[in-house]
Structure 1
Amino acid sequence: MAPRRCPCGSGLSYAECCGRLHDGTAAAATAEQLMRSRYSAFAVGDPAYLLATWHPSTRPSTLDLDPDVRWTGLEVLATSGGALLAAQGTVEFRAHWRAGGRSGAQHERSRFTRADGAWRYLDGVALP
C-alpha cells in the first residue's frame, strides 16, 4: 500500500511532510510551511496542532472542528515575507471543501509572525 499523500498538496507523503510537524518531530521553517501544515491539520482533524500554532495574542481558548467538512485541496496563491530568517509573512490561499453535498472554498490572506522563535498564525482576512 502506498503512503498517504499529504493533504497540503506538496506531493510528499503525509509522514514526510506535515505529519512531522503535527507530531512535533519538526517545526515549520517558513510561514508558507506553517500555513500548509495548518491546512493539513484541518484536513486530518487535529485541533490541538491548530491551537498550538496560533499566536497567543489571537488564539481562541478552544477550537471545535466540524466533522462534516472534508477539506479537498489547497492552492497557495501568493506569499510575502515569511522566509527562513524573516520575522513576519503573509500567505494568500484558497482552501477547497465539501460538506453536506455542497462544495466551496475559503479564500484568505493570513498573517504569520514568530513567537519565541517559532512561526505562529496571527490572523487572517477573508477575500472574495
Structure 2
Amino acid sequence: MLQLCPCCSGKPFAQCCNLYLSGQAYPNTAEALMRSRFSAYATGNLPYLRKSWHPDTCPELDADDLTTQWSRLEVIKSKQGLKKSIVEFKAWYREGDGESALHEISLFKLYKKRWVYVGPLSDWP
C-alpha cells in the first residue's frame, strides 16, 4: 500500500520527505525543509531534526520530544529569500479526543550552504 507523506504534499513518502530524512537529498527551499522537519517529528527521526536545526538555536533534544502525535500540516504562506526565508504554518496534532494546532511563523537561514531552522518569529515581518 502506498504511504502518503506526513507533510500533506499528497506525494508518496518515498518520493517526498523520505528523500531528505534518509539522507538521499537535502531540501533546496525553506518550505521543503519545514515540511521535512514536520515529517521528521511525525516519524520520530531525531537525528534529522538535529541536523536541520541551526546550531546556535538547537535545544537538547531527546526521545521525549517526539511523543506528540502529529496528524497534518497546513502551509499558510512562504517567502523564499536568498539567505533567509520565512514559512507560516499550522501543524496539527492529536490531543485527547480532538485535534489542536501549533501555529508558527518560522525563520530559516542558509548555514554552510544548507537551509536550517532558526526558530519562531513573533509575527510576519
Asked whether the two chains share a fold, i.e. TM above 0.5, the reply is: yes
CA distance in 1, matches of 2:45, 2:93: 16
User: Aligned pair 1:121/2:120, yes or no?
Assistant: no
Match of 1:15, SS?
Answer: helix
Instruction: Find the counterpart in structure 1 of residue 33 from structure 2.
Output: 34
Residue 100 to residue 126, structure 1, CA distance change in 2 (3 Å): farther
Q: Alignment identity in percent?
A: 39
Alpha-carbon deviations, 1:33-90, whole Å to 9, x = none?
A: 00000011111111211111000110113243242x21111110011124xxx21100
Gapped regions of structure 2 (runs ≥ 5): none
Partner Cα separation in structure 2 for residue 36 and residue 66 of structure 1: 16
User: 2:21 aligns to what?
Assistant: 22
Q: For residues 72-120 of structure 1, what are the alpha-carbon distances to aligned partners after superposition, in whole Å with 9 as ceiling and x for unaligned?
A: 11110011124xxx21100000011103334200000000001100000
Given residue 115 of structure 1, which amino acid in structure 2 is its aligned partner?
Y
In 2, distance between residues paired with 1:126 and 1:38? 20
2:104 to 88, 101, 108: 108
**3-state SS of 2:76 partner:** strand
Structure number with the higher helix fraction is: 2
- Structure 2 equivalent of residue 53 of structure 1: 52
**One-letter identity of the residue aligned with 1:87:** K
Residue of structure 2 equivalent to 1:75: 74
The aligned length equals 122
Counterpart of 2:104 in structure 1: which amino acid?
Answer: E
For 1:46 and 1:102, locate their aligned partners in 2 and report how far apart those are by CA, in whole Å: 25
**Map of 1:89 onto structure 2:** 85
Root mean square deviation of aligned Cα = 1.5
Which portions of structure 1, spanning 4 or more consecutive aligned residues, are displaced by more than 6 angstroms? none
Give the equivalent residue in structure 2 for 1:44: 43
Gaps of 5+ in 1: none
Normalized against structure 1, the TM-score is what? 0.88
